Amino acid sequence: MLKSLSERNVLKEESLMAINVSGRKPNSKARNRSHALNKSIRKQKLNLQVVRLADGTRVRISAKEKRTIFKDEKVAA
């Protein structure tokens, strides 16, 4: 059963990926080091987590920011 174009657009809008609100960038100074002492540069990526806000929108923030936010909420309560 094919759905109409407008129904598909509504479904697509509901299932959008979370928005990355964190302005942080990956650490580009990390290095891999093998047993043969070879060096290679790699990126140390952020641990992005999807969090649903009170208004229902989903955002991607780093785990460090998430911990800080929820810690502040627990202290306030």
Q: Using one digit for the tens of pLDDT, what is the confidence trace for 25-48?
A: 888 889 999 999 999 999 888 898
Other Cβ atoms closer than 10 A to 26: 11
Q: Residue 41 pairs with which residues in a beta bridge?
A: 31
Other Cβ atoms closer than 10 A to 61: 22
Question: How sure is the predictor about 72, in pLDDT bands with cuts at 50, 70 and 90?
Answer: confident
CA pair distance 25, 68, nearest whole angstrom: 18
| 66 or 73: which leads in pLDDT | 66
